Structure 1
Amino acid sequence: MKSVFTLFTAALLAGCSVVGQSHVEIAPYTQLQVDESLGIDVRHYDAMVLVSADMAAHGQNGAFRKLFRYISGANEGARDIAMTAPVFMEASNGHQGVSIAMTAPVFMTDTPEQARMSFVMPAHFTLETTPKPTDPSVTLSEVSDYRVAAIRFSGRLSDRNVAKQTAVLQKWLLEQGYQPASAPLKAGYHGPMTLPMFRRNEVLIALQAP
């Protein structure tokens, strides 16, 4: 899987409370192995549709604004698709647009050669049924049969916390005999209004096929 990026802002997960309650759909996956003592699990995502913008070209804030405009209606057609709530129909750039409910998490890495930010679409979308962006710099792609190891932690998604959790996860992978297939990815599930102790953060590493 190509590197994808996570960014947390109040606009992304505005439905989160200060204690971590959220109405945002979680990208579905199957747990294959769990180490509860370390907060680590190996999981399998059947398929995910990603909508992406180039952070190198537009900057972090610019890429986020492009993606947020896309899920807010800057997309073509799809008027007959049953959307995850909320669903709003609005005209956008001369096209009939759909306001798409966001899914968590959104992924982030700091690798400059893969400077993309990507939102995960709701699970009922396929690449064929996902509304096409009206902005040509916003792209769609699909990831399938994606197996990762993830470590879950609370607090802030700071570089220090991410480095600490990444080291724990990499040590566990070595002990378990897994072969990494990607650089670590950061993931978060709550916005900045949620108290750090109630936030769900993750570091994920894709795994080679067994």
Structure 2
Amino acid sequence: MKSLLTILTSIFVTGCSVVGQSNVETAPYTLLKSDETKNIEVRNYESMVLVSTSMAGNSSNSAFRKLFKYIGGENEGATEISMTAPVIMDDKNGSKKGTEISMTAPVFMNENTDEALMSFVMPKSFTLATTPKPTNPDLKVSELKDYKVAAIQFSGTLSDSNVEEHTKILTDWITANGFTAIGEAVKAGYNGPLTLPMMRRNEVLIKIQ
């Protein structure tokens, strides 16, 4: 994906290594089925609160900056939050407008909706009601409930060819295993570019029933 290296540069500034180790909180899910030979899992995310913004016009860099500023304090929150992964922000004004929010993996990139979206997952301690309201009107808060997906994990980069290859593997597996795809493929990135490509965790997720 064009510009992905730039987009993910700051995701795990303090929580990522060249070998893929990260202390960043990961969105929790219930494992329903696993195929270790193909690195595929069927998962149910009981609840995920997302903060999303448009990637229209291939403006993925801009989308990432807006979301990163949000978790860095550009929000209307006032609650003290225990940091699971420190976020480094350059605050030239010497003050924060709102709450600093810990980084949570993965970063979702959904290019198949009417408007391509990039989304950050809020820490599991947040609900829809307690998530700080963005001060940027381009950002929207939403909640996914009982999000049942088939997910395939792979290394390398989130290039178009890599994503297409693993999307086909996943869609074929979904059909062969008696599930029905009810959504388009969504890309998910877990690591920044300091991580060696062969050690990165990338995923494609497809909603199923």
- How far 1:114 sits from its partner (Å)? 2.4
What is the TM-score with the length of structure 2 in the denominator? 0.88
TM-score (norm 1): 0.87
CA distance in 1, matches of 2:87, 2:106: 20
Separation (CA, whole Å) in 1 of partners of 2:37 and 2:117 = 33
Structure 1, residues 171-207: CA drift from partner, whole Å, max 9, x if none? 1111111011100111111111100110011111001
1:70 paired with 2:70, answer yes
Equivalent residues, number: 201
2:131 maps to which residue?
Answer: 130
AA in 2 matched with 1:167: K
**How far apart, CA to CA, are the structure 1 residues paired with 2:63 and 2:129?**
23
Secondary structure of the corresponding residue to residue 98 of structure 2: strand
- Structure 1 residues 62 and 128, CA gap change in structure 2 (3 angstroms): same
Q: Which residue pairs with 1:188 in the alignment?
A: 189
Letter in 2 for 1:176: N
* Aligned-pair identity (%): 56
Structure 2 residue aligned with 1:13: 12
Structure 2 residues without counterparts, runs of 5 or longer: none
- Spell out, residue by residue over 1:51-74, the C-alpha distance to the aligned partner (whole angstroms, 9 max, x if none): 011221782111111111100000
Alignment of 1:1-210 (within 5 A): 8-14=7-13, 15-56=15-56, 59-86=59-86, 96-111=97-112, 113-208=114-209
**What secondary structure sits across from 1:69 in the alignment?**
helix
Q: 1:64 to 1:123 in 2, by over 3 A?
A: same
- Structure with higher strand content: 1
Deviation of 1:158 after TM superposition, in Å, equals 1.1
Any unmatched runs of 5+ in structure 1? 1-5
Q: Deviations over 1:131-178 (max 9, x none)?
A: 111112211000011100001111111111111111111111111110
Q: 2 CA distance for matches of 1:138 and 1:80?
A: 21
Q: CA deviation at 1:117?
A: 1.2
- The change in CA–CA distance for 1:83 and 1:194 in structure 2 (over 3 A counts) is closer
Contact 1:78 1:130 in 2 (8 A): no
Amino acid at match of 2:46: D
**1:33-66: CA deviation from partner (whole Å, max 9, x where unpaired):** 0011111110010100000112217821111111
What is the distance in 2 between the residues matched to 1:202 and 1:179?
A: 19
The alignment partner of 1:167 has SS state of helix
8 Å CA contact retained: 1:146, 1:206: yes
**Secondary structure in structure 1 of the residue aligned to 2:59:** helix
